[in-house]
Structures are given as structure tokens and as C-alpha cells.
Amino acid sequence: MESNKNLAVKITILLTSMMTVMAGATIAPSLPEMTRAFPQNSNAEAMVKLVLTIPGLFIAITAPLSGWVIDRYGRIPLLLIMLLVYGVAGTSGLYLDTLLEILVGRAFLGIAVGGIMTTSVALIGDYFDGSERQKFLGIQSGVMAIAGAIFITGGGLLADVGWRYPFLIYAMAFAVFPLVIIFLIEP
């Protein structure tokens, strides 16, 4: 029973970690079509490039703040909030109508990724010790690399249907949310 619980904890942490690699690359295949979708916007080309890069800026700004928040208020509360923000902000390209609105959604996605990334690493430090921690960090790196390739491919397939559809992949956060509630406990 204990090993099944430990496996569920590991899978849940790996799933949260996978979402951090989805931040930019998933929608990359849809960028040319997205640019063409806003012909009335003279800055569409530059703004669409920002759609890809702005999450990284907000990750860099907010990840250190996330570390302070999890130390003060706990890992699980922040992780749950950031999963919800991630799901809403990540899928925002499905339903927002202007590039500026989509950029704001992508900024919030970056904030969420910063929180998820920081919390996932902190939880690994809390749950695992010594060689088990090192082994799990190696597994996490491998899973994230494989997930990146899968999400880019999935984003490309969905972009062939329409430029908005790769944003659907970010809804994965809503599936991970209950797993965090069920399997992760505040250290």
C-alpha cells in the first residue's frame, strides 16, 4: 500500500513538472497562422512573437517570489492556485479575441509556471532524500524532455486544425488539480 502511495506521489509531481515545459513550445507551431488571424493589427508579427516569449519573462520575475510564498504559506495551497491559473491562462488563446488579451493571458501563464516549477522542486526536496532524490530528479529531467517532444508534436497536430487548438493542451492542469488534492500532502 505504501509503495502505491509513493508511486502516486511521484506521478503527480512528474505531471506537474511536465506542465512547466509546455509554457512556450506547445503553441509554437501555431504562430504563423496566429499572425495571419490578426490582419487588422499592424503589430501582429511582433506581438505574436511575444506570445511565445512573454511567459519566460514572467517565470523569471515570479519564481523567486513563489519560493517566498511557499515557505510562508505552504506548497500545496500555492500549487493548487497556480494549477487553476495555469489552466485558465493557458487555454485563454481559445477564447480571447485580441492579441493584447492573449498576451495578458500568457503573462499569467508565466506566473503560474513560475509557481508550479518552484513548488515541484521544493516538493521533491521535501519528499525525497539522498540518492532517492537524485534518482527522482534524473527521472524528472527525462520525463520533462520526453513530454516536451510530445507537447510540441501535439501542438503541431492541433495547429494543423486551427491556430487556437494548441491552447487546449494547457487544460491538462485541470486534470492534475484533483491528483494534487488526493496524493500530495503539505510537508
Which of helix, strand or coil describes residue 95? coil
Average pLDDT over residues 112-116: 96
22-31, 94-103, 106-115, 125-134: range with lowest mean pLDDT? 22-31
The arithmetic mean of pLDDT across residues 172-177, rounded, is 96
Show me where the domains of the chain are located. Answer: 2-183
CATH of domain 2-183: 1.20.1250.20
Burial classification of residue 184, based on how many CB atoms lie within 10 Å of its CB (0-12 exposed, 13-18 middle, 19 or more buried): buried
Is pLDDT larger for residue 78 or for residue 149?
78
pLDDT in tens, 123-158: 999 999 999 999 999 999 999 999 888 988 999 999
